[in-house]
Amino acid sequence: MSIVALRDAVVLLGRFPALSGVDLEVGASEVVLLQGPNGAGKSTLLRLCAGLLRPHSGRSVVLGHDLSKSRAAVRRSVGLLGHDTALYDDLTVTENLQFLARASRIELTAVGSALERLGVSARLHDVVVGRLSAGQRRRVALAGVALRRPELWLLDEPHAGLDQGGRDLVDGLVSEAAADGATVLVASHELDRTLELKTRRVTIAGGTIIADVADSDAADTDAADSDVADSDAADSDVADSDAADSDAADSDAVDTDVAGVAGGRGS
């Protein structure tokens, strides 16, 4: 079974087609690097797969769930690290992860080892998240994803704001997840330089996929990145009426929403 199966998938943000017809099939335990210029649609693609955005048209099936019918089950099953870590600022590091663990019916004892795995030192465990640095928050958010060991990992520029140690941890985490049989979609320009896994590089520009190459023939695909014009034009003054906001109208219990998602809306 494909873990992700998109067929001519269109996602509108307001009236802007952030995805304008994406075809993508990803199988179990594949690691896919999503590349492309700012505004290409990488975050939108990850958020679609996380069940946070409603597909406008086409066919979007993730983990066997048709996203045009129901997105709650997908939200529960995937692990998303978004641009915004969506942790609770007024809860401590430990409380945040315990909250996630409860929502995902995971033993609370797993919290400590997830934090340790991401190098979050014990002296930070009782600090409220609002007082952490950006890099520390990101490590905690990643610990939240690792804690849940999702079948599908969706990491949106996970290296951003991390020091070298943190970057290495991200790479290790991705390798481990893949070795565990999980599927990983990563929007990143860094992973391909460090990761020894067999990966696949998908390049997206202007809301569609313009290149899709397996590791073995990936040698000269960097060109695809740089040639593409920035499709940022729509950024500035577009009303904030995107489908994500309408998630609030979905009547899933709060805890199931939170369970799947370590990140909020991307940029």
Question: What residue number has its CB nearest to Mg ion?
Answer: 43
User: Residue 187: how many CA atoms within 13 Å on its side-chain side?
Assistant: 26
| Residues 129 and 262: beta-carbon distance below 8 Å | no
Which stretch, 57-65, 112-120, 134-142, 226-234, contacts ligand ADP (CB under 6 A)?
A: 226-234
Shortest distance (Å) from residue 163 CB to Mg ion: 21
CA Rg value for the chain = 18
Q: Which is nearer to ligand ADP, 96 or 203 (CB)?
A: 203
Shortest distance (Å) from residue 232 CB to ligand ADP: 6
Among the listed residues 220, 222, 242, the one whose alpha carbon sits nearest the alpha carbon of residue 43: 242
166 binds ligand ADP (CB under 6 A): no
Side chain identity, residue 195 = L
Shortest distance (Å) from residue 202 CB to ligand ADP: 12
x/- map, 121-150, Mg ion, by CB under 5 A: ------------------------------
Q: Which is nearer to ligand ADP, 35 or 104 (CB)?
A: 35
Shortest distance (Å) from residue 127 CB to ligand ADP: 30
267 binds ligand ADP (CB under 6 A): yes
Shortest distance (Å) from residue 43 CB to Mg ion: 3
Contacted by 235, from Mg ion, ligand ADP, none: CB < 5 to 8 Å by type = ligand ADP
x/- map, 9-48, ligand ADP, by CB under 6 A: ----xx-x-x-----------------x-xxxxxxx----
Q: In this structure, how many other beta carbons lie within 10 angstroms of the beta carbon of residue 10?
A: 19
Side chain identity, residue 95 = E
Which stretch, 34-42, 53-61, 202-210, 227-235, contacts Mg ion (CB under 5 A)?
A: 34-42
| Residues 151 and 78: beta-carbon distance below 8 Å | yes
Q: How far apart are CA 9 and CA 45, in angstroms?
A: 9
Burial class (CB in 10 A: 0-12, 13-18, 19+), 112: middle
Selected from 37, 41, 150, 266, the binder of Mg ion by CB under 5 A is 266
The interface with ligand ADP within residues 128-157 (CB under 6 A) comprises: none
Selected from 43, 183, 203, 208, the binder of Mg ion by CB under 5 A is 43
Q: How far apart are CA 206 and CA 21, in angstroms?
A: 10
Q: How far apart are CA 66 and CA 51, in angstroms?
A: 10
Side chain identity, residue 129 = V
- Tell me the DSSP string of 80-97: EE-SS----TTSBHHHHH
Residue 228 structure tokens: 């593409």
Shortest distance (Å) from residue 266 CB to ligand ADP: 5
Q: Which is nearer to ligand ADP, 7 or 15 (CB)?
A: 15
Q: Which residues bind Mg ion (CB under 5 A)?
A: 42-43, 266
